Structure 1
Amino acid sequence: MSYVSPEDVVENMIKAGQAKAKLPVKDLLLRGALAGVFLGYATTLAFTASLQTQLPIVGALIFPVGFVMVILLGLELVTGNFALIPTALFSGKVKINNMFLNWFWVIVGHLIGSIFYALLFVLAITNFGHTNENPMIEELIKVAEFKTIAYKSMGMDGVFTAFIKAILCNWMVALGAVMAMTSQSTTGKIAAMWLPILIFFGQGFEHAVVNMFVIPAGMMLGANVSFSDWWLWNQLPVTFGNLTSGFF
């Protein structure tokens, strides 16, 4: 009885997109920052599980906890907004400038929250800089370099690889935001949105907000990654890839 039909889901998408486009800047920043923090928590939890079990799929099974927190609390996740607000736009409920303003300020909020959590997490696992023996340190450095200088070594093929991985990622993430609307019960929402998020994380696709945490965290720990490496070889192509598939 809690199941919501696809036709009603589309109507709910339009309403959600319309509501998000009307939020003031302070709400976009705060909700975006909190979403960045919670996805950072989920990422470090997933990495912890992978390191403990030596089974990356275990981390993927756990990662959706962050997405669930974001959606159930009504926070702002730009990768979901890449789908929800255009739906309202195509229905004539939202102006295009409001859509772009939402995306911009939510991304700014994500950066604030993600980098803040990265700083706190780095201080925690290094005991305020007194140790470098935690296996998470090596993992974050490895992931940060893989997501940037590994693409850089391939030239434009690396940019296109990141872009395609981002498309594959956000087709699932945006679907997660939609699947949460297929049930009226909290348990049903959690189960429905868990599935596509597991699919994207388990295959190592590229998510812009996760990368706003993991790459700066790796840089703080000594990864051989510059600011331009982060943005030119990952953050920009991944953000545009996420936008492409969410919009699609």
Structure 2
Amino acid sequence: MAYLAPAEFTTKMVDSGESKIFMSTRDTVIRAFMAGATLALAAVFAITVNVQSGQPLLGAVLFPVGFVMLYLMGFDLLTGVFTLSPLALLDKRPGVTLGGVLRNWGLVFVGNFCGALMVAVMFSILFTYGYNTEPSEVGQVIAGIGEARTLGYKAHGIGGMLTLFIRGILCNWMVSMGVVGAMISTNVSGKVIAMWMPIMLFFYMTFEHSVVNMFLFPSALLMGGEFSLGDYLVWNEIPVVLGNMVGGIALTGLTLYTTHVRTAPNRVVVDAKAA
């Protein structure tokens, strides 16, 4: 499958991070918008499969289709730029600053949120016939997810917040591996397989993905979920964003960069007899 060695694709990671930092505002927002919308559509698809089949594993197996599509189209998720953009700063690429990294993150967040919100509005209309009926079965499940994954964490206080944060870390550990997966092959089939595996794992394990949640919780609120906007922000989105950031940087970006780009010197073996 034209596999690239880690030393090759980690250099591509740094190059990609640099290009995202210097990308125009227009292109950054458009690509992020489409990424948020595409991933939201995939979330609806997977939940629909779960509801209709009663098999959560099947939904997890099929969910990565959205992730694959958006990365093959060159769109950007917040979880991806959390991993890639800091590497260009760490590598001291000319002109790359902390402000540039934060600007990239902020623009991608806005674009992802707007794209996911658009899909949330569209499907809340579909599931309620323009807000004229009770939500469909899938809509009711989405509303229930919104309640369970805000008020459910809130009920456990600081322990719930810690659990939420760790689920965010674990999520972007896997999702960022999917982002890297798009770089480890030079043909489409290789990219798809490499991206598919970690995304399937994160979805089935119900880890917390900030961009998926940008769709789930607004759509749940639109369909009568019994939680507030404040609950969504405090007891899901904000700690999940922070967890995703830590997971992407610490468990994927830094580990690959330090061991394949800035490698430590090889050990020198001393011949005891010669000494």
Shorter-chain TM-score bucket reads over 0.9
Larger radius of gyration: 2
The residue number in structure 1 matching 2:149 is 147
> Residues 11-64 of structure 1: CA distance to partner in whole angstroms, max 9, x if unpaired?
100110010011111112111111110011000000011011101111100110
Residue 207 of structure 1 and its aligned partner are, at CA, apart by 0.2
Which runs of no fewer than 5 residues in structure 2 stay unpaired?
Answer: 251-275
Distance in 1 of aligned mates of 2:66 and 2:115:
14
1:71-129 per-residue CA deviation (whole Å, 9 max, x = no partner) reads 11111111011111112211111321111000001101111111111000110111112
1:179 and 1:112 map into 2 onto residues whose CA distance is: 26
Q: Which amino acid aligns with 2:84?
A: L
**Alignment correspondent of 1:92:** 92
2:119 to 117, 120, 124: 117
Structure 1: gaps spanning 5 or more residues: none
Where in structure 2 are the equivalents of 1:66-77 lying within 5 Å?
Answer: 66-77=66-77
Query: CA 1:103/1:2 → structure 2, altered by over 3 Å: closer, same or farther?
Result: same
Query: Shift of the alpha carbon at 1:131?
Result: 2.4
Secondary structure at the aligned position of 1:182 is classed as: coil
Letter in 1 for 2:68: V
Structure 2 equivalent of residue 177 of structure 1: 179
CA distance in 1, matches of 2:214, 2:165: 16
Deviates more, 1:38-47 or 1:1-10: 1-10
In 2: Cα distance, 1:231 partner to 1:133 partner: 23
Which consecutive segments of 4 or more residues in structure 1 shift more than 2 A?
Answer: none
Q: TM-score, normalised by structure 1?
A: 0.98
Distance (Å, rounded) in 1 between the aligned partners of 2:36 and 2:3: 30
Partner of 1:15: 15
Separation (CA, whole Å) in 1 of partners of 2:111 and 2:39: 13
Deviations 1:140-168 (Å, cap 9, x if unpaired)? 11100111111111111111111000001
> How far apart are residue 69 of structure 1 and its match?
1.3
TM-score by length of 2: 0.88
Q: Which moved more, 1:44-53 or 1:20-29?
A: 20-29
